[in-house]
Amino acid sequence: MFGTRWQLFRLLGIPVSLDASWFFILALLTLSLANIFPDLMQQYYPEAAELTVGSYWIMGLLAAVAFFGCILLHEMGHAVVARYQRMPIRGITLFLFGGVADIGDEPRSASAEFFMAIAGPVVTIFLGSSLWLLAWLGYRQGWAPPVVIVLGYLAAINGIVLVFNMIPAFPLDGGRVLRSFLWGMTGNLRRATFWAALVGRAFAWVFIAWGVLNFFSGNWLGGIWIGLIGLFLSNAAQSGYVQVLVRQALKGESVRRFMNPDPIVVSPAIDLRQWVEDYVYRFHRKTFPVVSDGHLQGCIDTQALERIPREDWGQHTVAEVMRRDLAPSSIHPDADALEALRKMQHSGFSRLLVTDGDRLVGIISLKDLLRFFSLKIELEGAEPSNTSARRPFDRDTSVDSSELVGKR
């Protein structure tokens, strides 16, 4: 989902990050508001002195930043309830389409899903009501017009966010509430996710069609934006369903079952030119574990070559440039395969070193996990029942590794 992102701070112990796409939507929203606020000022304060263009830009920027502050608090509502349910919270990321709380597991019960899903909208209701009350009070008490206009906008946009999020389209909050009801009725998380995701994709195609209609009706910018939201919802619904399938397929399986027990290793004493010629070009891989006398020393990848001129490769050894911090990229052979997948997601590595103490016992790759997942889905089916209802997802249960882990 995300590209480059930066961690800003921690809120209640939860990391808060910005995705690079956030800056685009911040600029677009600021531009839009700088053009909307003059009309609102004229409508509600026709007698007020005309503000400068710069003032409207400042109002737009402050309102846009405050809006994302509201989005952050909305996601904090989800995260706090999830943490209360003892679910792992990796952080909250603000991005092009708003914000998302990165929760590392599925809820343990339908009731837990409901309370976690409804927590965000409850926060938004509180924020919208409070901002509307402040705007009304400010209007009555004669506060500065720009302040009242910004407060009124924030109240209105929180109302829009609430309505949009409660659409029963998975993975929106309304879709998760729907999944909680379906889960409670069927007692089956996979089946509930299947139907909730199907409804989500139906709503997504409505958005896409609406976007196309707007585009050819003259509102080309709004049409593109609505269509992009539809595409995002469709992909997110499918991704959410696939993640449930993957988690259920891998849960309880040990890393030992999937690992390659005879990995290709490199000696720390060889020079970089020999490593490239005899290992990188021969085995067509970018990363290799470094082992000496049966003990794991580190790991070397082709990125290490960027710091050294090609003509000097023969003058430097693997030991000089290898990475020695292996904690983010290693796992115990008896660990759960689902834990390995989570570690890949968190670190961005598609291969993990399987270690027992300082000894390398194997390597596990994302491709090995997904190959097992694909076979299990092929044999057992993507949807528990043998009804024709599973057909809409039949072609979509294969998983691109980029959906589950960043490439590194």
Neighbouring residues of 171: CB distance < 8 A, sequence distance ≥ 6: 197, 200, 236, 237, 240
Strands (E), 61-117: 89-95, 98-103
Confidence bin at 383 (pLDDT 50/70/90): low
- For residue 92, the cross-strand partners are 16, 101
pLDDT at position 62 over 90 = yes
Residues 146 and 44 in one domain: yes
pLDDT of residue 391: 41
| 269 phi and psi angles, rounded to 5 deg | -85, -20
Neighbouring residues of 101: CB distance < 8 A, sequence distance ≥ 6: 75, 76, 78, 79, 82, 89, 91, 92
Residues 134 and 278 in one domain: no
Q: Using alpha carbons, select from 207, 217, 218, 225 the residue that is nearest to residue 32.
A: 225
Q: Using alpha carbons, select from 371, 346, 347 the residue that is nearest to residue 257.
A: 371
- For residue 150, the cross-strand partners are none
Do 114 and 106 touch, CB atoms closer than 8 A? Answer: no
Residues 191 and 309 in one domain: no
pLDDT at position 185 over 50 = yes
- Number of domains comprising the chain: 3
Residue at a domain's end among 250, 266, 289: 250
Do 126 and 112 touch, CB atoms closer than 8 A? Answer: no
List the Cα angle 122/178/114 in 5-degree steps: 45
Do 265 and 294 touch, CB atoms closer than 8 A? Answer: no
Q: Using alpha carbons, select from 40, 42, 61 the residue that is nearest to residue 50.
A: 42
pLDDT of residue 172: 87
Least confident stretch, 143-152, 243-252, 285-294: 243-252
Mean pLDDT calculated for residue range 23-38: 88
CA distance 136 to 156: 12
List the Cα angle 143/146/149 in 5-degree steps: 90
Residue 306, exposed/middle/buried by CB under 10 A (0-12, 13-18, 19+)?
exposed
Rounded to two decimals, the pTM is 0.72
Confidence bin at 375 (pLDDT 50/70/90): confident
pLDDT of residue 188: 86
Residues 46 and 83 in one domain: yes
Pairing verdict, β 98-103 and 89-95: antiparallel
Residues 124 and 165 in one domain: yes
pLDDT of residue 382: 56
Q: Which amino acid is at 287?
A: T
Pairing verdict, β 295-301 and 98-103: unpaired
Residue at a domain's end among 224, 250, 276: 250
Residues 313 and 284 in one domain: yes
Q: Percent of the chain scored above 90 by pLDDT?
A: 24
Mean pLDDT calculated for residue range 71-77: 93
Confidence bin at 396 (pLDDT 50/70/90): very low
CA distance 396 to 375: 14
List the Cα angle 192/70/227 in 5-degree steps: 55
Residues 83 and 152 in one domain: yes
Residues 280 and 398 in one domain: no
CA distance 363 to 352: 6
Residue at a domain's end among 216, 250, 284: 250
Do 280 and 375 touch, CB atoms closer than 8 A? Answer: no
Residues 120 and 107 in one domain: yes
Least confident stretch, 126-140, 299-313, 366-380: 366-380
pLDDT at position 176 over 50 = yes
- For residue 254, the cross-strand partners are 336
* pLDDT per residue as tens digits for the range 273-331: 999 999 989 988 888 999 988 888 888 888 888 888 888 888 889 888 888 888 888 88
CATH of the domain at 266: 3.10.580.10
Residues 286 and 145 in one domain: no
Domain housing 96: 5-250
Residue that has been written with the tokens 């919208």 in this structure? 128
Least confident stretch, 110-119, 215-224, 331-340, 383-392: 383-392
Residues 10 and 22 in one domain: yes
**How many other C-beta atoms are found inside a 10 Å radius of the C-beta of residue 157?**
21
Residues 358 and 380 in one domain: no
Mean pLDDT calculated for residue range 5-29: 86
